[in-house]
Amino acid sequence: MRFYKTAVFILIITFFTGCFLFDSNNSEEVKKIKEGDAFFASGEIDKAVGSWEESLDIKKTAAAYEKMIIAHIVKNDLSGAEQWLKEGLVHFPDNVNLIFNASLISYHKNEYQLALKDIDRVLDADMYYPNAHYMKGMIYEKLGNDKEAKKEFVNAININPGSRATWEKIREEVKNGK
């Protein structure tokens, strides 16, 4: 009876503290993701990509796909980024971060109409998505629609008033009389 009471007490404590014996944060794919993050932070992009690929072999996660895409964009390997994007969207078709990355890839490929379509999907899902209005302003700027670009930069500032890049864009717009 004493063992039973002790076991129940331990279960209650673990329930309320959130400390479970089987913590998923120690899983092998999470370790590989963290390893990749460390490589990425130190500038070893290829090693980071290798670790994240290993994590995807263990378990498919949207976060790992997002990291793979960004790493390939940083390497200026847009075809590699697209490949990981397509695979990620197969497993996570409504993931807003992946859709944002789709817009980013299209932007870098100068496919502005496609980038605009994807960024609108992001904003339909989350009007306050970080950098989405900024990105939309950048797209409009490339399309030569300065009025809409300025509107999006203002929307971005209203969501994130600390954005240096957006303030620079607004100052640039004012300086150029747009």
28-93, CATH topology level? 1.25.40
Residues 60/52, Cβ–Cβ less than 8 Å: no
Task: Note whether 28-93 and 107-178 share their fold.
Answer: yes
Q: What is the pLDDT of residues 16-61, one digit of tens each?
A: 444 444 445 568 989 999 999 999 999 999 999 999 999 999 999 9
Cβ distance 162 to 135 under 8 Å? no
Let me know: does 29 contact 52? Beta carbons within 8 Å. no
CATH 3.20.20.70 holds for 107-178: no
pLDDT given for residue 22 in this prediction? 44
- Spatial distance between the Cα atoms of 117 and 153, rounded to a whole number of angstroms: 18
46, 56, 101, 119 from 25: Cα distances, Å: 24, 15, 25, 32
CA 21 centroid distance within chain? 30
Mean pLDDT for 6-11 is 46
In the chain, where the domains are located: 28-93, 107-178
